[in-house]
């Protein structure tokens, strides 16, 4: 049977298409504009002649950013924070959520309510700073960023809810076969939890890649600072002298290209996420049906 759309259905579809088109334009235009400004002629960029497409290709600003030795250091630090922080965060979140999802865990309700309270109330910046610096002695340590951003109550709760959706019969069957809790968690629960693990990975990767506030508090050594602090110095504070290695005398073209550096920095920082996201998104779509009980 072929369903024939009514006039109302066609109007509704047209409205949806228009809204989606508007959202795409509003979302993609700023990124495309920044990209065009970064590779346009410095004079045209300074005059405001660039509004959509690049005007007179010029990669001076991009070359200045990529040739700066500090950028590679910041990049390496950000990659370290992202990889290590995401791995530790996903494992910690899963380890916290799994016991809370099991009905036989004594004190389950109390611990769950205790975790949920932290979603609305927390100690604040100053107590956290004191704990990290005085008690954990992690000031100017890479692990300060990893520990502070290890997990959140929201991540634990959504992971707990997913674990609770898994059939209890699978766990009981594994226990009857003599599997330990560690084996059940590692070889049964985690493989069936690829959808939620993919979601956690996506959130944590983006969070670590864009985070700068915690690094600003706990990391003063520039050799350990992430790329986000570099972007903050160039884009927000506009302190090019402290953020980049500049020569004493600059030509007029170099002065104009300095106006484009903030756009080039944004492109250089966003590009890895644009490349990685399609692969993560693909895994998210595939993971929706992984672990489903058939029949």
- Of 90-104, 127-141, 156-170, 276-290, which range is least confident? 276-290
The angle, 0 to 180 degrees and rounded to 10, between the axes of the packed helices 69-101 and 153-165 is 50
pLDDT, position 246: 47
**In this structure, are residues 71 and 216 in contact, taking their beta carbons and an 8 Å threshold?**
no
Q: Which helix (H) or strand (E) segment is 60 a member of?
A: helix 60-67
Main-chain dihedrals φ then ψ at residue 213, nearest 5 degrees: -65, -45
Please compute the mean of the pLDDT values over residues 167-182 and round it to a whole number: 86
pLDDT bracket for residue 283 (50, 70, 90) = low
Mean pLDDT of the chain: 81
pLDDT bracket for residue 292 (50, 70, 90) = very low
pLDDT, position 285: 57
Q: Is the pLDDT of residue 286 over 60?
A: no
pLDDT bracket for residue 247 (50, 70, 90) = very low
Who wins on pLDDT, 274 or 249? 274
Report the distance separating Cα 20 and Cα 40, nearest Å: 29
Count of CB atoms situated within 10 Å of the CB of 193: 23
Residues sharing a CB contact under 8 Å with residue 156, sequence separation 6 or more, in sequence order: 93, 96, 97, 100, 115
Q: Is the pLDDT of residue 277 over 70?
A: yes
Domains of the chain in sequence order: 7-67+248-292 (no CATH), 69-222 (1.10.3720.10)
First to last CA, the chain: 27
Question: Residue 227's closest CA among 192, 267, 260, 189?
Answer: 267
């Amino acid at each position: 049977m072929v369903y024939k759309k009514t006039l109302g259905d066609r109007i509704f579809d047209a409205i949806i298409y228009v809204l989606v088109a508007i959202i795409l334009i509003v979302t993609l235009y700023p990124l495309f504009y920044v990209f065009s400004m970064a590779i346009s002629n410095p004079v045209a960029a300074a005059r405001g002649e660039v509004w959509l497409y690049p005007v007179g290709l010029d990669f001076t600003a991009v070359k200045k950013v990529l040739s700066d030795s500090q950028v590679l250091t910041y990049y390496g630090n950000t990659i370290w924070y992202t990889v290590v922080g995401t791995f530790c965060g996903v494992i910690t979140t899963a380890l916290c959520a799994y016991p809370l999802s099991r009905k036989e865990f004594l004190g389950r309700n109390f611990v769950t309510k205790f975790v949920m309270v932290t979603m609305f109330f927390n100690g604040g910046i100053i107590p956290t700073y004191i704990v990290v610096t005085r008690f954990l002695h992690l000031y100017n340590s890479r692990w300060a960023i990893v520990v502070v951003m290890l997990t959140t109550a929201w991540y634990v709760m959504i992971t707990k809810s997913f674990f609770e959706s898994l059939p209890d019969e699978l766990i009981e069957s594994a226990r009857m076969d003599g599997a330990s809790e560690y084996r059940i968690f590692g070889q049964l629960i985690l493989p069936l939890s690829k959808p939620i693990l993919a979601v956690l990975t996506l959130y944590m990767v983006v969070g670590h890649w864009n985070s700068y506030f915690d690094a600003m508090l706990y990391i003063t050594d520039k050799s350990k600072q992430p790329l986000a602090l570099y972007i903050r110095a160039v884009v927000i504070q506009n302190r090019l002298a402290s953020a980049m290695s500049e020569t004493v005398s600059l030509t007029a073209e170099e002065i104009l290209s300095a106006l484009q550096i903030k756009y080039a920095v944004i492109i250089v920082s966003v590009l890895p996420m644009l490349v990685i996201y399609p692969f993560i998104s693909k895994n998210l779509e595939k993971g929706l049906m992984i672990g489903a009980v058939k029949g």
